[in-house]
Amino acid sequence: MKHTKPGNVITLKQALELAEQFEYANGSFSPRYTPMITPVLRAAEKAKSPAIVQISHKELLRYGITPAEFADEFYLRVRSEHITVPVVLHLDHTKELETIAAAIEAGFTSVMIDASEKNLEENIAISQEVVDYAHARGVSVEAELGMIGTTDFVETDKDEELYTDPQEAKYFAEQTRVDALAVSCGTAHGVYMVREPKIDYARLQAIRALNPVHLVLHGGSGVPAGMMAKAITLPGGGVSKVNIATDLELAFLGALGREERMTNEECKALSPEWLEKGRAGVESTVADKMVNFLGSKGKAVHFRA
């Protein structure tokens, strides 16, 4: 289905420019299950907060969803829930160019190309190709430089961690013209069980001092709020997008009193009462992040369609 975009469905670049100007971060929320897109949007509307709804290539495969299904549900709910706050539909970690093309075709307004496991020049070449393709279609691009570790292998399959080098980040951003850069500076995907979350602020500031590319932190679940606030409000421009995935699924499953994940089809087959229970759990978690973690509550006021 082709979607005419409502005026409040914006690109990542637009969303991050506003966030940097007004010193908050956009939560980039992974509902994982399509029925959980609704509570993310509801929480944003109630909090008058901007929001990003995202899904990664690996999540699409794991939960059995196509980019078109995800986009259809997103646009349907933006309309049926009367969402007026600015929202972005973002494809998280993807290496496959066909998936990126399918997402853009389906109405995503932002995509992430993750070629971070390649060497610098290859990462630049691949990211550049995606930037050319996406920018020609009015879509923003996020890339990753350095390697962000993972503890659960849901979003990515890397278990290495390599902090982003500020000089390389400058070179990379200039060569690729990406809109946003995911940097590795201590956070990790998944649940922090094996180690404490940490953020290397000096590194973040050094990256920012050399280049104006918007900065993204992945692995936002489980990072203490005070630690995040400092990263968002760094002098000279802090982090303007924070990915939050694990916490939402935990909230959803927790509300249902279960531990095992399900497929998207299984989720959709839940009874209306169970679905609403799950949605309530996700909505309150998203609202809490917006208020206490991202500083994005009330910030939709700065958006003019």
Task: Using CB under 5 A, list all residues that contact Zn ion.
Answer: 155, 218
Q: Which is nearer to Zn ion, 155 or 249 (CB)?
A: 155
- Angstrom distance (rounded) from CA 67 to CA 60: 7
Q: Yes or no: say if 66 and 60 are a contact pair by the CB < 8 Å rule.
A: yes
Strands (E), 23-117: 26-29, 51-56, 87-94, 110-113
Told to judge if 157 belongs to the known catalytic residues of this protein, a careful annotator would answer no
Q: Which one-letter DSSP state was computed for residue 292?
A: I
Question: Which of 70, 17, 74, 22 shows the shortest CA–CA distance to 48?
Answer: 22
Q: Which is nearer to Zn ion, 38 or 110 (CB)?
A: 110
- Angstrom distance (rounded) from CA 251 to CA 109: 27
Helix (H, G, I), strand (E, B) or coil at 272: helix
- Angstrom distance (rounded) from CA 206 to CA 169: 10
Distance of closest approach, residue 245 Cβ to Zn ion, in angstroms: 7
Q: Which is nearer to Zn ion, 155 or 283 (CB)?
A: 155
Q: Which is nearer to Zn ion, 13 or 218 (CB)?
A: 218
Question: Which of 83, 8, 4, 6 shows the shortest CA–CA distance to 39?
Answer: 83
Q: Cβ-closest residue to Zn ion? A: 218
In this structure, the number of other CB atoms found within 10 A of the CB of residue 163 comes to: 14
How many helices, marked H, and strands, marked E, lie in the chain? 12, 10
**If you count them, how many residues does the chain have?**
305
Distance of closest approach, residue 218 Cβ to Zn ion, in angstroms: 3
Catalytic residue among 92, 114, 165, 179: 92
In this structure, the number of other CB atoms found within 10 A of the CB of residue 250 comes to: 17
Distance of closest approach, residue 212 Cβ to Zn ion, in angstroms: 22
Q: Which is nearer to Zn ion, 143 or 275 (CB)?
A: 143
* Residue 31: burial class (beta carbons within 10 Å; 0-12, 13-18, 19+): buried
Annotated catalytic residues are: 92
